[in-house]
Amino acid sequence: MQNKTWNSVADKVNFNLEIDTGKFLQLIPKENSILDYGCGYGRTCEVLSSLGYKNILGVDTSAKIIKRGNLKHPHLSLFQSKNYKINYPENHFNTIILCAVLTCVPEDSLKRKIISEIKRVLVPCGIIHMVEFCSNTEKRFKSSFGIDMHHSSPNFLRELVSEFSELTFDVNQVKTLKGQNALAVNYFGKNDT
């Protein structure tokens, strides 16, 4: 966990990867309960709120990033989570979003634990939407803020979510925060168990 580093950069860092709002609107009814896992300062929760979604919760392990989010968006529900675990019973959320979170989790074993935890709290037939930077040749590096980053291969990310039924899996050209070209996986899956 890189929580200390996240806390130390919480007021300086900005994020830019975008969820797929077009497909999201097609697939996700407005009354759905939505969890934004690793919500940062509430950027995506704010987008969803502006689209008319009302039942949105954001959790993030960095207390300082959550504090920033709560100051910026007092109308949103953003809470600190203590570790990778989601403090809710199983079958709780209709929809879970993961946006640029696994990119910042270098350990593959922790990535797997996060996905299992998401599966646990997602209702049967619930939807997971994952948007993550990726690279055809996996890349491990430190961001300019000192965060350990991992751009996994698209195949690795696909395998990671293979317990869900794939609805869509695309790899798109995106820009990093520094304006560099990069790839990102845009995935929707269904909890069919």
Ligand X SMILES: C[S@@+](CC[C@H](N)C(=O)[O-])C[C@H]1O[C@@H](n2cnc3c(N)ncnc32)[C@H](O)[C@@H]1O
Residues lying near ligand X in the complex (CB under 6 A) = 6, 15, 17, 37-40, 43-44, 60-62, 65, 81, 84, 99-101, 104-105, 114
Q: Quick check: helix, strand or coil at residue 67?
A: helix
* Residue among 77, 128, 100, 85 nearest 6 (CA): 100
Minimal distance in Å, beta carbon 142 to ligand X?
14
Alpha-carbon dihedral of residues 44, 50, 51, 56, nearest 10 degrees?
60
Q: Which residue is nearest to ligand X (CB)?
A: 40
Minimal distance in Å, beta carbon 38 to ligand X?
3
Minimal distance in Å, beta carbon 127 to ligand X?
17
12 or 124: whose CB is closer to ligand X? 12
Q: Phi/psi at 154 (nearest 5 deg)?
A: -55, -40
Minimal distance in Å, beta carbon 169 to ligand X?
19
Minimal distance in Å, beta carbon 183 to ligand X?
16
19 or 154: whose CB is closer to ligand X? 19
Helical H segments across the chain, by residue range:
3-9, 21-27, 43-50, 63-72, 108-121, 154-160
145 or 162: whose CB is closer to ligand X? 145
43 or 151: whose CB is closer to ligand X? 43
The two structure tokens encoding residue 124: 């049967």
Q: How many C-beta atoms lie closer than 10 Å to residue 64's C-beta? A: 17
71 or 125: whose CB is closer to ligand X? 71
